[in-house]
Structure 1
């Protein structure tokens, strides 16, 4: 994608964001629009993922997160999938006929997913998955889930910072009777992202549903950041939206005649531009260490987005103190991205890991 989103699409996405901020439930009409938009095919390069996700996040951060996770799963299938998986799934993922989600997190596993309670037990006819996943974006709306499970007892693993030996990925269909989504989480931010729980109970999958080598999920996880696709793109879009909101409000209020106000906007604009540039650099894979750049772009963009939203809230003064003002939802969304995988604290640990070797 090189062109901005159409005005009509942006308007639809903004209207959806306002509705879901109130309801806390996913917007089926907006999801159908996303599926039909052609944007689900953005997964083919990290650069295109970042551009598309950033643009959508300026209007609807929740749907941007849904699309990012969809693209992440599609890219993993393209990289690690069997020929049959690629042939069957990739065209449907690109067209939007199949929407994908990741189910990695679970209670007690920690941000690094070192010890999982969700297990996969081999049977003569396949595998049986049991356990529960939390904070799964796309729960209940996805047609396909990439589920991280323990397939063997965790062994000594001094290499990986994220995940551990004995973990594997399975592709589980959304209509599998052993997979039950629950949208009981009442989120402060990303309220339209369908982020909730997924319960796996006697969830039967075939050997052909295994993605990548058995027991080597950490290798797949480690390769994710080297694609350049970064959640920082969502944060960059949020920061742009907040800055635009401030500019529009201050212009209407006649406050741009104040030099101090103009200079505040200039400074915020510089920070937003820097965040967008860092995200773009991650997607271009042009740095000496693209994986590190991807992690740093997430850290930097999330910090910038939250800071810009806070500063814009101050510039809006009492206008921004009204619950329905968009800046409050943008701020909550900005905070949410910092908690999403890899969470910022884990990002810092991943960036710092080489210094311990």
Structure 2
């Protein structure tokens, strides 16, 4: 059964330009994404043509500087675009969030020359990015990564394996964190690696529970040579760049989670108002009405939380604590709401004829990516109670 078109959310947008942007995104979501989402996810097909369309429409660089092809949009607006796209198909919303994450290191820490050379193609030239921090033996403990970059004249030679890379094998560029110095976070440096670099290859995509249309794969770097002008920031600054990127990236995941939850609620409401039992719609029964009310309330709370964090970011104020809270709450909400949506649909919710079961499978990964929700609780606790004593 094809997915329903996303239902319009009553948004408080700061400018007429932002309202026009959301209208454009809704049109793309309805006509280019939602109608094919179920079929393409089932087939495990990545919609590269949608990302090409978004690039031509100016959607791949929304929070970045227009000098380099970006959209000059505040995070408050960009995240609502992500929510709209994720409601139509999570593969697309998450893909845009990852692309934005991959471009962050260059946009925030690159030199003027690096930004002028690379950002226009990344933001509006049809390129697709990937972010390469995790490894087979270093996930939550990212500072223990083993991929090495060794200086060779004016070049760096990178060797190692990255794991759980969204867009792995199809990305045009990778922001890669590699060890250039001593053990620990201060020995890590960031590099911008072309997707077609000699010695870079991808393993077969992982066979996942959900998000089957979004390729996730290990990336092998076998003596990949990049020039020093592809180093982002200073030597040893890579881990700080990675953490800074993740603060913003977690807001992207939060917005995607709210979009997914909204899609599940819309499906549950449509089914409950149409399904007849005991001579009336099941939406008339109090037990089910209370479930729908709780789902809607959790979604609104999540939306308010990620927008509040975004506004702090836009104002140049610290927002890491709020970003962790938003990622934690919104992704837990998505898991709860999608599970309840399956329950509302009953037996039909457990079949692939309706999208509720796919939403539930997709929600799970949002509690894991870009820092598990257990890591988010650690981050929040450190802000609240200070660092752990040893």
TM-score (norm 2): 0.84
Show structure 2 runs of 5+ residues with no match. 1-17, 65-73, 276-280
Q: Which has the larger displacement, 1-10 or 262-271?
A: 1-10
Alpha-carbon contact 1:230-1:297 (below 8 Å) kept: no
Matched, 1:223 2:244: yes
Shift of 1:289: 4.2
Q: What is the correspondence of 1:174-189 to structure 2 with a 5 Å cutoff?
A: 174-189=195-210
2:11 counterpart residue number: none
Matched, 1:35 2:62: no
Question: Deviations for 1:81-129, whole angstroms, at most 9, x for unmatched residues?
Answer: 1111111222222214222110111101131312112111110130111
1:165 counterpart residue number: 186
Q: What is the correspondence of 1:1-357 to structure 2 with a 5 Å cutoff?
A: 1-2=18-19, 3-4=22-23, 5-44=25-64, 45-155=74-184, 164-224=185-245, 227=248, 229-253=251-275, 254-285=281-312, 289-354=318-383, 355-356=386-387
| SS of equivalent to 2:144 | coil
| SS of equivalent to 2:283 | coil
| SS of equivalent to 2:321 | helix
Shift of 1:226: 5.3
| SS of equivalent to 1:256 | helix
Aligned residues: 349
Distance 1:153 1:53 in 2: 38
> Quick one: structure 1 residues 29 and 331, their matched pair in 2 at CA, closer, same or farther if it must change by over 3 Å?
same
| SS of equivalent to 1:199 | strand
Distance 1:258 1:281 in 2: 35
TM-score (norm 1): 0.91
Shift of 1:231: 1.3
Higher RCO structure, 1 or 2 (CA under 8 Å, sep 6+): 1
Question: Deviations for 1:5-57, whole angstroms, at most 9, x for unmatched residues?
Answer: 33453242123431332122423333333333321122324323311111100
Show structure 1 runs of 5+ residues with no match. 156-163
Question: Deviations for 1:321-347, whole angstroms, at most 9, x for unmatched residues?
Answer: 113421111111111111101222222
